């Protein structure tokens, strides 16, 4: 449903934008996903900020 996270460019990592927040998640299977982080849009994104 969401777009691929541009900074990471991995097809299983996606995001939805809601107001000033980026809701980032990982697609595990076609029916399952894992919410990784709700990230404020003013902060940079890196693998460390998601998995650190």
Query: What is the average pLDDT score of the chain?
Result: 88
Confidence of residue 40 (pLDDT cuts 50, 70, 90): confident
- What is d(CA 5, CA 26) in angstroms, rounded to the nearest whole number? 10
43 against 19, higher pLDDT: 19
Q: Where are the domains of the chain?
A: 3-51
Question: Tokens 């693998």, residue?
Answer: 47
DSSP letters spanning the chain? --EE-TTT--TTEEEEEETTEEEEEEEEETTEEEEEEEEETTS---HHHHH-
């Amino acid at each position: 449903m969401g777009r691929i996270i541009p900074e990471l460019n991995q097809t299983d990592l996606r995001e939805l934008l809601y107001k000033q927040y980026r809701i980032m998640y990982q697609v595990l299977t076609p029916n399952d996903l894992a919410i990784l982080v709700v990230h404020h849009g003013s902060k940079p994104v890196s693998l460390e900020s998601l998995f650190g």
